[in-house]
Structure 1
Amino acid sequence: MKFLISTCLLLVAVCAHSTPNKYIALTLDDSPRAASGYFDGPTRANKLIAALKAHDVAQVAFFSVSAHLNQEGITRLNAYSDAGHLIANHTHDHPDFNTLTLAQYIANFEQADRELSQFKTMTKLFRFPYLREGDTVEKRDGMRAALAAKGYRNGYVTVNTYDWFIENQFQKAIKDGVKVDLTRMSHYYVDMMVQSIEAYDELAIKELGRSPKHVLLLHEMDITALFLGDLIAELKRKGWIIISPLTAYEDEIATFQTTEVLPYNPGRIGEIARTNGQTKGLWPRALQESYLDQQFEQQVMQVVAPK
């Protein structure tokens, strides 16, 4: 009996050890994003830096918009840079590529390249605002050539989220005088982020036969400052390993380039799925505004009746 128990325990240990690790990098768009709601800019930055440090995340990437570089914005990006986090290019003023000419868009990108070069951890990664990489072949290929000429890599995402929509829900409730329960808000936020992560990972495994090194899209916002630590803790509890974006962009999917023109890009995993013939399920349920409104009402706004 003792031998049987020992053998079972050994098998459990071997199975647990053989479970593939899952890796994910954290990236935050739009920094230094306007801060006129729950936190001011310096408070938001301090809380983000503290949360990352407390949860042993050594490096994330802040995809930054150079039009926001007033003195406070410069101070905020310097704080992120001084903490070891990457500063990357998210254009000068966050335009929609679908509404600009190629020449206008390249000029916008190049202006951000010049203005963001002042930060010591500036890294030549470029993320397209709204993930829109060109609605014509000329735009798509022209921007790819412009990035290559400047030594940039595409700062793609594998996990899209609608955290910006959740931020709007939170800020509206606060503005309307609602006393939001931050514990309930955290549970809702973490739930929606994890739903997106797991949906895209399942899609990746289906299309690639493996879990790639993921890149999570977040934004530099108040809810991120409030709840990023809770999200990291939950990811670690589920077995995810947080890695640097530089490590994530070493995955072989970094070299993938779709041959399609996608006015509305679903992210790198969605691109690969479309190439393989899939057209549905590229935007998970946690990216649907009606679902988010329903979940916000149920998880945050509704008062649980006493039993």
Structure 2
Amino acid sequence: MRFPMTTWLLALLAFGAHAAEPDRRIAITIDDLPWQRMDKTPAADLPLRHAQLMAQLKQAGVPVVGFVNEGKLEIDGQVQPARVAMLRDWREAGYELGNHTHGHLDLHAVGLPAFQQDILDGERTLRPLLAERGQVPRWFRHPYLRAGRTPEERAALSAFLDQQGYRIAPVTVDNGEWVWAFAYANVLDGQPDTPARAATLERLKRGYLPYMLNKVDYYERQSQALLGYALPQVWLLHANELNAVAYADLVAGVQRRGYRVVTLDEAMRDPAYARGEDGYNGRYGPSWLHRWAMAEKKPKDFYAGEPEVPGWVLQLAGVASE
């Protein structure tokens, strides 16, 4: 059977378009386990909210690495078995657990020796918990993504982590997710249970999803501009009330964009990650893609166009900026 030339041409164009599609992969990491704002969450509500988040993780059905702040396991310095059980739920569900320090300290504020001790204090419960299943903590995530203000400080910290058996978990898709989550929690816990509160919570969820997906789009463009291809991204999220109702939709949204959710190990096989943390010497903690761009001395307009948290969300969160 013969097909008109136009049919073959359209088929060829369609094949070319398909072949040109980037290989979109993303690893998901969730910080501040067992719960982001542990000290502000009503104790009676915590078990249900944790269960909701675990259900969302199960529904999404993709790999995750969770990063633990051991200080959140304690009350007045005493480890609480119920909070350790929250971590055990993550482990039993098959998710890997990493070290996010004990007290979520700012390296740039406390200095390297105190920070190194906080890393060691951050595995006093985590290491034996994982040993129950023949596992060890392998990944480390910097609080606030602050990795050192000088090349020497970054190198010293990296060497210390390597000695302790850790790999640094970078973040390429940085975002203001924590602002949306603070806003959601403030409304959930600070307003009476009325239709108005329900409407605000729904508005926050509906705004959060496109904001986060637009961030993924932005950093894909940054990757293409800097590296010439779609880097396997590393996405930063937190264990909180908002993701306890929105996480599965968030994962579905990124999958609709053509992304495969992969393990952190797979993402980190990309050679770009060998660049490490160098490139940024300021007080904050930008995306690794932007660190690398700074190392290449990209002009200021390279960083333009990043989605921002709307003012009404900042107001509900009670913060001035992200």
- 1:97 is aligned, of 90, 107, 119, to 107
Give the structure-1-normalised TM-score: 0.86
- Aligned equivalent of 1:43: 48
More deviation, 75-84/26-35: 26-35
Correspondence 1:175-194 to 2 at 5 A: 175-177=190-192, 178-181=196-199, 182-194=201-213
**CA 12–232 in structure 1, closer or farther in 2 if over 3 Å, else same:** same
- Aligned equivalent of 1:123: 137
**Pairing 1:56–2:66 present:** no
Unaligned runs of 5+ in 1: 298-307
RMSD over aligned Cα atoms: 2.5
Amino acid of the structure 2 residue aligned with 1:179: R
**Pairing 1:140–2:154 present:** yes
- Aligned equivalent of 2:260: 241
**Pairing 1:163–2:177 present:** yes
- Aligned equivalent of 2:76: none
- 1:215 is aligned, of 203, 227, 234, to 234
**Pairing 1:85–2:86 present:** no
**CA 146–284 in structure 1, closer or farther in 2 if over 3 Å, else same:** farther
**Pairing 1:292–2:310 present:** yes
8 Å CA contact retained: 2:65, 2:97? yes
Identical columns (%):
25
Amino acid of the structure 1 residue aligned with 2:271: E
Q: What do residues 81-112 of structure 1 show as CA deviations (whole Å, max 9, x unaligned)?
A: 11110100100110111111211111111111
Unaligned runs of 5+ in 2: 74-79, 316-322
**CA 143–176 in structure 1, closer or farther in 2 if over 3 Å, else same:** same
8 Å CA contact retained: 2:98, 2:139? yes
Amino acid of the structure 1 residue aligned with 2:160: A
Separation in 1, partners of 2:15, 2:282: 45
Q: What do residues 135-163 of structure 1 show as CA deviations (whole Å, max 9, x unaligned)?
A: 24443222111111112111110111111
Amino acid of the structure 2 residue aligned with 1:62: G
Structure 1 residue 210, shift from structure 2 partner: 0.7
**CA 94–136 in structure 1, closer or farther in 2 if over 3 Å, else same:** same
Separation in 1, partners of 2:72, 2:305: 31
Give the structure-2-normalised TM-score: 0.83
